[in-house]
Amino acid sequence: MLALSDTQVRVMNALLRRGDPAAAAHLVRPGTLPATRRLAIYRNNMVESLVAALRAVYPVSERLVGAAFFHQAARACIGLHPSRSGDLHDFGVDFPAFLRAWAPASSLPYLPDVAALEWAVHRAYHEAVRPPLSPASLAAVPRGAQPGLRLALQPSARFVCSPYPVLHIWQANQPDADEAETVSLDEGCVRLLVMQQALEVVFVPLDAAEQRWLCALDEGAGLGQACAGAIDLDPAFDIGAALVRHLALGLFTGMST
């Protein structure tokens, strides 16, 4: 008798068309339909459920390419990147990267970045919000300890950078948007902080130095190291103004040294 893990692997391989489909057929109880046919029905139900999950996360991407194209892309992505979690909210993280490598989408170079923004919106909305760090707590840190200070960001915080105006594209394709609105790809790049505030997803435009500073903090760098990286990019970077801005947004939730 196969171990449960081996049984699961064989069934999943059959559902994802990996290897010999008949390898799992003997695991299916006899019925009125052949085992391979019953597996095919289950496979179709599984794939279509995952397609529906991707459609829920990426409605703008689907609107940009049409339902048929999106369905084809979703099925191809699922074959390469099946769900690895029991929580469907975790499924779909690979879709933007899949679109970058998928030849049929190559004529739409902005599409993967639009999808990346949609994933950031999805994850930001479903994350918990922690109490923000108070300015008084930060001001109480001795000057000598400040360079090594590490600031924790809200779990909902996501960063999106694109050479295309993906936020405008996203906004123009919302249900309540003006259907006559047009977007020019020549509008240029965007750098965004995406986060949740009071059950709403907000978009905070960033400049290049500010983005580098926040990303460094998010990756665990000390305040001094993060500031040095931002100043290397823009000598005029104002650390005080940046701290005030993001404390007011409630982005920081804690600190450690």
Q: pLDDT tens for residues 31-59?
A: 666 666 666 666 777 888 899 999 999 99
Q: Which of 10-24, 73-87, 165-179, 183-197 has the lowest mean pLDDT?
A: 10-24
Q: Which two tokens stand for residue 100?
A: 């970058």
Q: What is the pTM of this model?
A: 0.86
**Domain spans, the chain:** 1-108, 110-257
User: Could you please report the per-residue DSSP string of 189-223?
Assistant: -EEEEEEEETTEEEEEE--HHHHHHHHHHHTT--H
**Contact indicator for 154, 250 with CB cutoff of 8 Å:** yes
Residue 69 has pLDDT above 70, yes or no: yes
**Side-chain half-sphere CA neighbours of 8 within 13 A:** 4
* Residue 112 contacts residue 60 (beta carbons within 8 Å): no
**Residue 12 pLDDT greater than 80, yes or no:** no
Most confident by average pLDDT, 20-24, 71-75, 89-93:
71-75
Can you tell me whether residue 162 is helix, strand or coil?
A: strand
180 falls in which pLDDT band (50, 70, 90)?
confident
CB 204 within 8 A of CB 195: yes
Per-residue confidence band for 23, with pLDDT thresholds at 50, 70 and 90: low
Residue 149 has pLDDT above 90, yes or no: yes
pLDDT more than 90, % of the chain: 72
Mean pLDDT, rounded, for 126-140: 94
The string of pLDDT tens digits covering residues 76-119 is: 999 888 877 777 788 999 999 999 999 999 999 999 999 999 99
**What per-residue confidence (pLDDT) applies to 2?**
60
- Average of pLDDT values for 231-249? 96
Predicted pLDDT of residue 230: 98
- pLDDT at position 87, please? 79
The pLDDT value recorded for residue 86 is 73
Of 202 and 32, the one with more pLDDT: 202
